[in-house]
Structure 1
Amino acid sequence: MALDIRRQIPATFDRVDRSKYGYNAKQVDEFLQRARTSFENPVGTADQVASVDVRAVAFDPIKGGYDANSVDAALDRLEDAFARRERDDLINQQGEEAWLRQIGKLSGILRGRLHRPDGERFRRPSRKGARSYNVHDVDALCAELIGYLEHDQALSVDTVRRAVFRAAKGAEGYEEAQVDAFLARVVELMAAID
């Protein structure tokens, strides 16, 4: 069944007040046009977009820009659509076993970190006083992820996408970049499974 990309993203987004910051509308429109073109013409399109590109895209803040929450929600739907297509393409080209191997490999990598002891899952920032994530908050999400991956407990990919952790300083917390990279892989896995 073909996906209609127009259902994933609206033609336009609400803007925030002129005195508030939102996403740069020109950058959002350009990226979404590139994504539409890539999705509708998956073969032979220059500058191809994949689910990982949708997950990683960032826009400059600008006064009076697009409402960030609306754009983020549309990007989440778009990422899911790309992930489903990538999964279906892999299955069609190499078979379901290839997809299961890919999922199993990624799941194994993630589980390795998830099964580390609380307080030891991620490295601590090397710079004293650097911003970091609260260890207990991150470990709590990791416990939920173990429940999702190993005990069929319900957990939405959007819960992971929107996870917010209290701030910590330096070695009191986990290094933000490492946690963020790990969670990006978790989202990749969950989007491919769901």
Structure 2
Amino acid sequence: MIELTKADGLWTVTLNNPTKANALTGAMLTELAEIAEDATEARALILSGTGKVFSAGADLDEARAGLATSDVWERLSGAIAALPCLTVAALNGTLAGGANGMVLACDIRIAVPQAKFFYPVMKLGFLPQPSDPLRMAALIGPARTKMVLMAGQKITAEEAYTFGLVDRVVEPEVLMQVARELVADSLAADPQIAAGIARMCQ
């Protein structure tokens, strides 16, 4: 359900469980965290999904059984945020729930026009993972973060772009092409220079 390809320094990670809207199980999250922890050798990383939804968030049965409060979410987002290479989330569709964490941890986010963004954690009776509100507020401010987390608003791709939650909106047929174009300079650069620039931008 997690696909990983490596080519010339580019790691492409794809969520591939479209019949369940790429809902995340504990096993999938652990595999994603392990990939992110191993990706220190990557020169760029692209995170995407198959189908019309990037991810519906946690698998609901597993969420109720304890996954919603597992530390694996923070393990995953922390590993992505710590990578020295350029990371791009190429959102092929809607982003929901805890799946926001790994996306917020990426350096750049691009999305298709049909994507929606929501995080109904409060409605489900859970707190968000600790770093998620901080990263979201750093991008879009505390009021808009509360619109998502407390007012339960679904944000369109256009609104997400206006807010600064995503950096570019592109048509589905060119989504991965644009993602690869965004990482092209980093793939060609001296990795130490690229990592140095990343540190300077924090």
Fold in common (TM above 0.5):
no
| TM-score, length-scaled by structure 2 | 0.31
Greater fraction of residues in helix: 1
Q: From the two aligned structures, give the one with the greater strand fraction.
A: 2
